[in-house]
Amino acid sequence: AAKRQGRNTWQWYRGEERRNVNEHVLLRYDIHSALRGNEFELYYQPIVDAASGEIRSVEALVRWHHPRHGLVSPGIFIPLAEQTGQIIPLGRWVLQQACQDLADLQARGERVFPVAVNISSLQFHRDGFLTEVQQMLDNTGLPPELLELEVTESILLQGAEHAIEMIRTLRGMRIAVSIDDFGTGFSSLSYLRDLPIHKIKLDRAFIRDILTDQRNAGLVQGIITMAHHMNLAVVAEGVESRAQQQDLIARHCDLLQGFYFARPMPLDNLLGLPDSLPAAPVA
């Protein structure tokens, strides 16, 4: 039943996404009231060990239950929130909620995973961000080892020195940082030398064509090899098929995330998941 519900939700979501393109202007005025009205919810998507399928962490992905537009995609409202600065209160809410959700699971004696939270560049560079993170850990009691932050290369455009310093400090706080959408930004590779990050997440665009485009596959292989030589783990985003899974295992990719394993889901649905995905034995 949960699976069927998930699928319906997705179809609806995709439909809304298309319709909402014309309604950006209206949406941008709504985020503050949406925060007050509790219209946001965090969904969680498992990230699995490539070789064993064991769930290793979850990524928090925000959803907006809009009273008129239905479920609105973060692909639409996050860029708007970044333009208007509303990403600051929204990002704070996301971080707080993710810490709270995981701390609650832990308090209930449930299995817990490290949770990866997406952080916008604006939020990351703002004064007081680290203090805020520390306060949320303190308030919720979540151990720092259970929090990971996902940032994109764009944090470098807004101040490379500061970004490096921030990630060093976070590392000192025992909070892991990953580079999200790796390979899609405009920064030079040399930054990888200087950022004390733990993981890179290969953008879905690279995974989509991995079986059909030789040059793309070569690029993916090269990135994985480079990352391993740098002691970085690689996560492949957007794995949708067993064939992609097998290909990425053969290329020694460390971690996999995608609809093939599980879609983003409400917190409670995490409780019903088996230790390893996919649950059904593959032929």
**Total of chain residues touching ligand C2E, rule CB under 6 A:** 24
Smallest gap from Cβ 91 to Mg ion, in A, equals 13
Q: Which of 24, 32, 143 is nearest to 93 (CA)?
A: 32
Report how far Cα 237 is from the mean position of its chain's Cα atoms: 9
The owner of tokens 């909070």 is 175
Structure-block tokens of residue 83: 């333009």
Q: Count CA atoms within 13 Å of residue 35 on its CB side.
A: 17
User: Do residues 148 and 117 lie in contact, with contact meaning Cβ atoms separated by under 8 Å?
Assistant: yes
Report how far Cα 83 is from the mean position of its chain's Cα atoms: 20
Smallest gap from Cβ 50 to ligand C2E, in A, equals 14
**Which residue is nearest to ligand C2E, using beta carbons?**
258
Question: Is 86 an interacting residue with respect to Mg ion (CB under 5 A)?
Answer: no
Structure-block tokens of residue 56: 């290793």
Stretch that binds Mg ion, among 48-56, 74-82, 177-185, 217-225 (CB under 5 A): 177-185
Q: Which is nearer to ligand C2E, 119 or 255 (CB)?
A: 119
Task: Choose from ligand C2E, Mg ion, none: what does 50 bind? Cβ within 5-8 Å by kind.
Answer: none
Cα separation of 163 and 248, whole Å? Answer: 30
Please pick, from the candidates 101, 181, 247, 254, the single residue that binds Mg ion as defined by CB under 5 A.
Answer: 181
Please pick, from the candidates 9, 57, 118, 245, the single residue that binds Mg ion as defined by CB under 5 A.
Answer: 118
Could you list the residues that contact ligand C2E (CB under 6 A)? 45, 61-62, 73-75, 78, 91, 94, 118-120, 150, 180-181, 204, 237-240, 257-259, 264
